[in-house]
Amino acid sequence: MSVLFYSYPKCGTCRKAKQWLDQNGVAYEEIHIIENPPTKEQLTSYYQNSGLPLKKFFNTSGKKYRELGLKDKVATASDEELLEILSSDGMLIKRPLLTDGDKVTVGFKEEEFDTTWK
């Protein structure tokens, strides 16, 4: 199984996730989320496959999120608008974002990785 691993090299959480993938022998293709962010179509697919609320895809602790004042917008905007915003800048997407085409995880929680990617 090969997994798409959207990450940001300077992100400590991404480094922990990468270490977990390496230690558990999970094959992955690493994609720099800032240089090659997922498209709106890809994000739509990931969102639909994840079963997560769309707001979970936002990097709420990021500087860009705060600068754009997205907290209130995320609460009221349509999914279509939110996907448009997310696809506009990789810094707005919570990372790491992993998918194998069916399963999707956002962020890194070891327990979640154990059940999803092992």
CATH for 106: 3.40.30.10
Q: Say if residue 1's pLDDT is above 80.
A: no
- Mean pLDDT, to the nearest integer, of 57-77? 94
Report d(CA 12, CA 2) in Å as an integer: 22
State the pLDDT at residue 97.
Answer: 98
Is omega for the bond preceding 9 within 30 degrees of 0, making it cis? Answer: no
Q: Say if residue 2's pLDDT is above 90.
A: no
Number of domains in the chain: 1
Tell which residue, 72, 77, 50, has the closest CA to residue 94: 50
Report d(CA 62, CA 75) in Å as an integer: 17
Tokens, residue 72:
């209130």
Report d(CA 84, CA 58) in Å as an integer: 12
Instruction: Quote the domain boundaries for residue 25.
Output: 2-117
Total-model pTM = 0.94
- Mean pLDDT, to the nearest integer, of 54-77? 94
Mean pLDDT of the chain: 96
